[in-house]
Amino acid sequence: MIIGLVGKPSAGKSTLFKAMTLAEVDIGAYPFTTIKPNEGVGYASIECVDKEFGKQCDPREGFCLDHVRFIPMKIMDVAGLVPEAHKGKGLGLQFLDDLRQAHVLIHVVDMSGSTNEKGEPVDPPTHDPGKDIAFLENELNMWYLSILKKGWDKSARAAQQSKNIAQILGKQLSGLNVDEEMVKESIRELSLSDNPTTWSEEELYSLASLLRQRTKLIVIAANKMDLPSSKSNYERIKRNGDLLVIPTAADLELALREAAGSNLIDYTPGGNTFRIKGSLSDKQQKGLEYIQQYLDTFGSTGVQEVINRAVFDELDQIVVFPGGVNNLVDKDGNCLPDAFLLTKGSTALDFAFKIHTDLGKGFVKAIDVKTKRAVGKEHVLQHRDVVEIVSR
Ligand SMILES: Nc1nc2c(ncn2[C@@H]2O[C@H](COP(=O)(O)OP(=O)(O)O)[C@@H](O)[C@H]2O)c(=O)[nH]1
Ligand SMILES: [Mg+2]
């Protein structure tokens, strides 16, 4: 799974990327064989199940801090959001290729309004961050539109006869995870006519935009919330749309992870506090006090929450642990070493296949380790289930 970070210059993308990918503890292996230069490993977090069994787990990948389990995934810094990126301006083509690979986008927005659309400082803070959100959406829509319109006249004429425009467009946009059924539904929802040769430019844009909304999920990281001018912008934007908007302070999260890495504090990312354990300079003390005030107001820096909401709410993932009903420890003595991400609605059989093809093929039954109940193939798993697969 890949999470893409996008945003205009100076929104705080690099800071957020650094904060998300900085693990303050020794971590196990990564599940990824290749990591590209603009990718890093970040973590979704959940309340670990080890506590319910009175244990401390030993993750093979990722880590567990204070019974919060951190599950690794790829974070991609998608640089190059400039006007007309969809036409190949700036790093446009690279930008689009990176975007295509991301399953969900985190749009980093400077909520303070202190930088203009190019990321240059404006003083006093007057830029409307809502414009940045509309701008990215439009840029994505235009990109979809340009693919949709490739060979449009010919496709539309062909479809006029055969009534299969959904099939043609589904195929054309399949690289963006669009399929025939989705096109059909969207055409219906927009009440477009039966004859695609009559569709106006505006109708084509609406169709591209609807397909984009359905295939490129976006979470807004409302960044720089520590600055005074951010609050009113945040309230307004949150009220206006149906977007998922999470207040963040990337700078503060980075400071906390760095302090934890230098053994000055204990900090579990996502938490509403930290524990000072090293001796601090006056400046460090003041800095941490400032951060604690922020945490008291907002509940967390928001950085961990952005990842979690992207993975669990937008991408509809759940976490399931393999484990034996009589033993949670593997042959190397590691307790609950694995945690798998699955799509909501996955069954016991899906889980077996996810662990190993042989387990799936030889599936006999599964056991819900928490309740010790045997369940069949079709049993739908829940978030934080621990499951033993019995196979031939
Ligand atoms: N006040 C404040 N400044 C931030 C925050 N996050 C990033 N910044 C600052 O914003 C500036 C631009 O950040 P950077 O990560 O380089 O932005 P990028 O161009 O989007 O990669 C830097 O001076 C950061 O320190 C934040 O949460 N609060
Ligand atoms: Mg940067």
Mean confidence (pLDDT) of the chain:
93
The residue whose CB lies within 8 Å of the most ligand 1 atoms, and thus the one to mutate among 251, 257, 298, is: 251
Q: Look at ligand 1, atom 1, and give the residue with the nearest C-alpha.
A: 224
**Inter-residue contact 131 to 117 (CB < 8 Å):** yes
Domain residue ranges in the chain: 2-139+217-312, 318-391
pLDDT tens digits, 264-291: 999 999 999 999 998 999 999 999 999 9
Q: What is the pLDDT of residue 28?
A: 64
| Mean pLDDT to the nearest integer, 102-110 | 96
Ligand in closest contact with the CA of 13:
1
Q: What is the pLDDT of residue 91?
A: 67
Question: Ligand 1 within 6 A of 224 CB?
Answer: yes
Q: What is the pLDDT of residue 36?
A: 81
C-alpha R_g of the chain: 24
DSSP letters along 359-381, please?
A: HHHTEEEEEETTTTEEE-TTPBP
pLDDT at 200 over 70: yes
Q: How confident is the model at residue 162 (pLDDT cuts 50, 70, 90)?
A: confident
CATH architecture label of 318-391: Roll (3.10)
pLDDT tens digits, 39-75: 999 999 999 999 999 999 999 999 999 999 999 999 9
Atom of ligand 1 nearest to the CA of 9: 19
| Mean pLDDT to the nearest integer, 204-232 | 96
pLDDT at 33 over 80: no
Whole-number Å distance between alpha carbons of 159 and 197? 9
* Residue bearing the bigger pLDDT, 219 or 92: 219
**Inter-residue contact 261 to 270 (CB < 8 Å):** no
Atom of ligand 1 nearest to the CA of 15: 15
pLDDT at 240 over 90: no
Question: Ligand 1 within 6 A of 57 CB?
Answer: no
Fold of 2-139+217-312: Rossmann fold (3.40.50)
Ligand in closest contact with the CA of 112:
1
Q: What is the pLDDT of residue 352?
A: 98
Q: What is the pLDDT of residue 2?
A: 93
